[in-house]
């Protein structure tokens, strides 16, 4: 079995403002970086991260000295015209109201649809599982975005829950496990063993 630690990046300025931060390449808040340095998560066979700065910095802090493989497909959703804005700034925007009324299922105007985003994230996961299978790794960490985690677990998480039910706070996430051989054959089930709260080790 392959254990995956799926962890959302640490807090950024945009996160504190409730903004839709997707393609905006923000760093971690300095105080957040300092706080994360207090935790020792141990080592894993491989660390993967979204190419966004907030994920790279989180991965470097939580897994110091480990090689980090960047996975382009794990980048956060492109929020289009909602990018780097919060709901107050978008109030009165008819496209935003339509998106809200849809329960967040419509495509982001000028950005990605949830389906496109999910397919992209799954393509990244497929790459991770294949490499883990070929190298016989037992544990890997994915330092990614909240949306990335929600998309993957909505598709393959067990027990099944909808997209927004998988939301996690910054620097938190889920422990999951899967059978790489079965996954690559098409039996794609990620068994969720529990939440990762801030500072949890992998013991």
- Cβ neighbours of 85 (radius 10 Å): 18
Decide if pLDDT at 45 tops 80.
Answer: yes
Q: Return the SS3 of 108.
A: coil
Where are the extended beta strands (E) located within the chain?
A: 2-8, 46-49, 68-70, 139-144, 157-158, 173-178, 190-196
pLDDT digit string (tens) for 49-78? 999 999 999 999 999 999 999 999 999 999
Residue 28 confidence (pLDDT)? 98
Report the number of distinct structural domains present in the chain.
1
Region 138-153: mean pLDDT is: 98
Residues 93-129 as b/e (b if ≥16 CB within 10 A, e otherwise) read: beebeebeeeeeeeebeebbebeebbebbbebbebbb
Whole-number Å distance between alpha carbons of 57 and 171: 12
Give the tokens for residue 108.
């982001």
Classify residue 68 as exposed, middle or buried by CB count within 10 Å of its CB (0-12, 13-18, 19+): middle
Domain that holds residue 110: 2-196
Tell me, yes or no, whether 202 lies in a domain: no
**What pTM, to 2 d.p., does this model score?**
0.94
Whole-number Å distance between alpha carbons of 31 and 35: 6
Dihedral (Cα; 108, 114, 116, 118), 10-degree rounding: 150
Tell me, yes or no, whether 135 lies in a domain: yes
Tell me, yes or no, whether 189 lies in a domain: yes
Residue 203 confidence (pLDDT)? 61
Tell me, yes or no, whether 97 lies in a domain: yes
Decide if pLDDT at 200 tops 80.
Answer: no
Residue 40 confidence (pLDDT)? 85
Percent of the chain with pLDDT over 90: 92
Instruction: With beta carbons less than 8 A apart as the criterion, state whether 33 and 57 touch.
Output: yes
Tell me, yes or no, whether 80 lies in a domain: yes
pLDDT band at 12 (very low <50, low <70, confident <90, very high): very high
Tell me, yes or no, whether 44 lies in a domain: yes
CATH number reported for the structural domain that contains residue 23 in this entry: 3.40.50.1240
Region 102-126: mean pLDDT is: 93
């Amino acid at each position: 079995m392959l254990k995956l630690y799926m962890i959302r990046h640490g807090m950024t300025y945009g996160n504190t403002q409730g903004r839709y931060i997707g393609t905006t390449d923000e760093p971690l808040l300095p105080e957040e970086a300092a706080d994360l340095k207090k935790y020792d998560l141990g080592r894993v066979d491989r660390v993967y991260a979204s190419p966004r700065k907030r994920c790279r910095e989180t991965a470097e802090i939580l897994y110091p000295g480990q090689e980090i493989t960047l996975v382009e497909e794990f980048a956060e959703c492109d929020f289009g015209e909602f990018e780097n804005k919060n709901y107050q700034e978008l109030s009165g925007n008819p496209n935003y109201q339509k998106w809200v009324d849809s329960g967040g299922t419509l495509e982001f105007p000028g950005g990605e649809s949830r389906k496109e985003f999910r397919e992209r994230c799954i393509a990244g996961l497929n790459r991770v599982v294949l490499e883990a299978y070929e190298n016989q790794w037992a544990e890997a960490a994915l330092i990614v975005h909240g949306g990335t985690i929600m998309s993957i677990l909505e598709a393959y998480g067990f027990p099944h829950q909808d997209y927004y039910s998988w939301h996690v706070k910054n620097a938190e996430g889920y422990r999951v496990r899967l059978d790489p051989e079965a996954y690559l054959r098409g039996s794609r089930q990620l068994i969720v063993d529990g939440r990762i709260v801030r500072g949890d080790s992998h013991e």
